[in-house]
Amino acid sequence: MNGDDRIYKKLLEHDKRFDKNDKRWEENNKRWEQNDKRWEENNKRWEQNDKCTNRMIKKLLEHDEKFEKMATSEEVQTIKNEVMNSLDKMTTILKRMDEERVFTAKRIERVENETERLAKENTQHAKDIRQIKLQLKIA
């Protein structure tokens, strides 16, 4: 075998290796294309997620603003104390009125009894009381 044949034989071996490498490159290219498609799909999903995330962030910011506008716990406690003080005052007034009502009813009963006693007498005063009762239509 001469030098040219050896070179030719080596070139054929290199051609076979190049063919194998070409096949590998083609397979890799197919895989890269599939990966590119997956990346594009994932990018679309990420964009959708970004939109959702942006909407959620906006909502959170809106809620933060609303919470800031809400009364603080100190303000609520102050309002509660004012309301409770007012209710205590009203309760005190109602208790007094209830007690006064009892005493007033007893006093009215005593006055009516006295009036009845006087009305039963045959004095001018008793006659006047009977006349007034008739006029008031309470007799």
| Whether the Cβ atoms of residue 126 and residue 133 lie closer than 8 Å to each other | no
H helices present in 70-123, as ranges: 73-120
Amino acid identity at 13 = E
> What are the residue boundaries of the structural domains of the chain, listed by start?
1-70, 72-139
pTM value? 0.36
The one-letter code for the residue type at 105 is A
Q: Which residue has the tokens 């506008």?
A: 69
Q: Would you give per-residue pLDDT tens digits along the chain (139 residues)?
A: 677 888 888 888 888 888 888 888 999 999 999 999 999 999 999 999 888 899 999 999 998 888 777 767 788 888 899 999 999 999 999 999 988 988 898 988 998 888 777 767 667 777 787 788 888 876 5
- How far is residue 139's CA from residue 114's CA, in Å, rounded to a whole number? 15
Using DSSP's 3-state secondary structure scheme, residue 139 falls into: coil
Decide if 118 contacts 125 (C-beta within 8 A): yes
